[in-house]
A and B are shown apart, each in its own frame.
Chain A
């Protein structure tokens, strides 16, 4: 069974540009969450999608957005990139449904460098 797949794995952008990251969850998983990991702030929750609906959102500016498609694949977008957006962006999927135990399966991440 394939795991969570994130593309691209590495990318370099310049300030002011925008970026789109993609995540394919484990087959059958309907929930996709995104986390930002930086040395200074650690792991921070961005948002979570279930059945194409955003169920929860972290404390990030509106430049950070996401969406989920009918096949559960998800994308996140960051517009007007800032140097501080340089981070490892991790996607995680879970079986979800309503309440649950919160077990997440993480991808290897997309490492974004903003110059």
Chain B
């Protein structure tokens, strides 16, 4: 079975500051990992994903994440926060080769302060 832990249910950063959202996973087999973003009253939008290959993954809106197998982590970063980044972020895992069943973390609400 797989699971995801997101450290910090709420994170606040100043506009222009580094964004770091933490995600650790547990999986008995090589996982596929994802970050999704959810804006108020909307569905989820894929930011980026790791399946195989390069461990540093670049996504949309300037976000990137690094898969670290030794640390079982997949933290999301962005060098400079923008007001429009305020949203809830979800880390998710699925077993490689599985059907479309994602296990989501509990989410991190990002607030960007002016």
B contact residues around A109 at 8 Å (CB): 42-43
Interface residues of B, dominant DSSP: loop
Kindly state the separation between the CA atoms of A102 and B98 in the bound complex, as whole angstroms. 8
- The reply to whether B49 and A103 contact each other, CB–CB distance below 8 Å, is yes
Contact code string A71-110 (vs B, CB < 8 Å = 1, else 0): 0000000000000000000101010100111111111110
Q: How many A-B residue pairs have CB under 8 A?
A: 69
A48 touches B107 (CB 8 A): no
Contact status of A56 and B42, CB under 8 A, knowing A43-B90, A102-B94: no
A residues bordering B, Cβ < 8 Å?
4, 31, 33, 35, 42-45, 48, 50, 55-56, 58, 90, 92, 94, 96, 99-109
Chain B residues within 8 Å of A, Cβ to Cβ: 32, 34, 36, 41-46, 49, 51, 90, 94, 96-107
